[in-house]
Structure 1
Amino acid sequence: MANPGAAAGVERHGRPRDPENDAAILDAALDLLIERGAAGTSIEAVAQRAGVAKLTVYRRWRAKEDLLMAALEHARAPDMDAPPAGQSIDELVAFVAELLSRPRFRALMARVIGASVDYPKLVSAYTERYLRPRLDALAEIAQQAIDARRFPPDTDPSVIQDILASSIGSVLLQHPEDVTAAQIERRLRILLHHIGYQP
């Protein structure tokens, strides 16, 4: 049964939670995840980086996986939300390219993908909470582009979805260092052109 005190923002021992402590802990967890990966991140290291007692972290998150999932959710920015269904393919390509050009985002994605063997729950939660809504929106945008004759009428929307979704892995593998949004966008447009996209 869920702890009612935690839902109300109260620690299990009855003291009110400090939002500043929460933010410091989640920022520290995210930084360490990017720097060291999930395996190299510990609650002790997070507490030290955040400048709080180890017990303060354990009162909020009982396991490292729970803490890392909370840190990933904390990392979400408004401009990283799922694209609106009415967005065009051109706008979507520009959005994906800009997002993938951010070094910190690429580093975070690499760490999340790398955690899939030892921390499958972390990756599953991230996929369901973050990636799945975006992939669903992407499929809808692809179908709208097909209906608008931007692609050949027999185009499978899942192919468009796969091209844009797999671009994350492609950028991580081919461009571990700096890469510009313009370079990524150019590559995505070439791929879409080969399946008949008419901008």
Structure 2
Amino acid sequence: MTYPKADSTTRPPGRPRDPGREAEILQAVLDVMGDLGVDGVTFEEVARRAQASKRTLYRRWATKQEMVVAAIKAGPAARNKPEPIDTGSLRGDLLALLARLESTMDAGEPISLTIMQAGLRDPELCEFIEASAGPTGARLTEAVLQAAIARGELPESADPFAYEEIAAGTLIIRKLNGLSTDATYRAALVDAVLIPALRSGVPAGQHGIFSGKPTPSTHRPSESRNN
């Protein structure tokens, strides 16, 4: 499936004239995502929950993907800043990425997990969300990586795998188990795990789970049933 460009200025006719009403509709989208996942979001279901007509929704968003991203931007990603992250140091950038991810998850938990799971199944949707509502902090951006290499903080062979495999997954697991993910914890994660792993320069040979293009398993489900 091909999604519209995230920075497109083309909008369907009849944009919403009541911000309050649009907020209600977007909350309905988030409610559907929370109950049924991204795959369960349809114009019919959102219209039913928002007590609106499908025509009203189509006047605002041309596709389901546009509607989902609008809801994410208004909800879980509302605290995200559109500016690229650039603190002047790798450590500062990593802490800023994790802080942004923390803010996003706090604003929309457990919706954030639903969004990330959807991105695993649909990398193109994941890219669309990152470009529209992000950076979400779930992945190490190319700009942060290249800036660290240019400053000499990372070798040219630095692989983003460590961040994309560990950072978001660790925060999610800790949150689901009621454990701390505060600034002190995030600093420890950066200093003890992420920076050493990134500085190793060892190529992983695969993509992390939140990279938008995770390396798929070569194990077939039928094999486990036969063993």
What does residue 142 of structure 2 align with?
A: 136
What does residue 85 of structure 1 align with?
A: 86
Distance in 1, Cα, partners of 2:101 & 2:119: 20
Which residue of 80, 101, 126 maps to 1:123?
126
Q: What SS does the corresponding residue of 1:39 show, helix, strand or coil?
A: helix
What does residue 163 of structure 2 align with?
A: 164
Structure 1 119/86 Cα, relative in aligned 2: closer, same or farther at 3 Å?
A: closer
For the 8 Å contact 1:69–1:126, the answer to whether it is kept is yes
1:33-112 → structure 2 map (5 Å cutoff): 33-75=33-75, 76-77=77-78, 79-101=80-102, 102-105=105-108, 107-112=110-115
AA partner of residue 163 (structure 2)? L
Distance in 2, Cα, partners of 1:44 & 1:72: 19
Identity of aligned residues (%): 20
What does residue 189 of structure 1 align with?
A: 191
Provide the TM-score with structure 1 as the length reference. Answer: 0.66
Distance in 1, Cα, partners of 2:146 & 2:47: 42
Q: What SS does the corresponding residue of 1:180 show, helix, strand or coil?
A: coil
Provide the TM-score with structure 2 as the length reference. Answer: 0.60
1:113 Cα deviation (Å)?
Answer: 2.9
Q: Structure 2: where are the runs of 5+ without partners?
A: 1-9, 201-227
1:195 Cα deviation (Å)?
Answer: 5.5
For the 8 Å contact 1:116–1:123, the answer to whether it is kept is yes
Higher helix share: 1
Aligned-residue CA RMSD in angstroms?
A: 3.6
Distance in 1, Cα, partners of 2:135 & 2:198: 24
Greater Cα shift, 89-98 or 125-134? 125-134
Q: Is residue 2:113 matched to residue 1:113?
A: no
Q: Structure 1: where are the runs of 5+ without partners?
A: 1-5
Distance in 1, Cα, partners of 2:144 & 2:35: 30
Structure 1 186/118 Cα, relative in aligned 2: closer, same or farther at 3 Å?
A: closer
Distance in 1, Cα, partners of 2:28 & 2:67: 10
Q: What SS does the corresponding residue of 1:52 show, helix, strand or coil?
A: coil
Structure 1 164/18 Cα, relative in aligned 2: closer, same or farther at 3 Å?
A: same
Greater Cα shift, 185-194 or 76-85? 76-85
Distance in 2, Cα, partners of 1:58 & 1:109: 25
What does residue 3 of structure 1 align with?
A: none
For the 8 Å contact 2:61–2:67, the answer to whether it is kept is yes
Kindly tell me the number of residue pairs found equivalent between the two proteins.
181
Q: What are the Cα deviations for residues 41-99 of structure 1, in whole angstroms up to 9, with x where unaligned?
A: 33333234434334322332344333213323444435443544343223223323333
AA partner of residue 89 (structure 1)? L
Q: What SS does the corresponding residue of 1:90 show, helix, strand or coil?
A: helix
Q: Is residue 2:24 matched to residue 1:24?
A: yes
Q: What SS does the corresponding residue of 2:172 show, helix, strand or coil?
A: helix
Q: What are the Cα deviations for residues 106-142 of structure 1, in whole angstroms up to 9, with x where unaligned?
A: 6344222322476554223224443499712212332
Distance in 2, Cα, partners of 1:43 & 1:8: 15
Distance in 2, Cα, partners of 1:189 & 1:32: 38
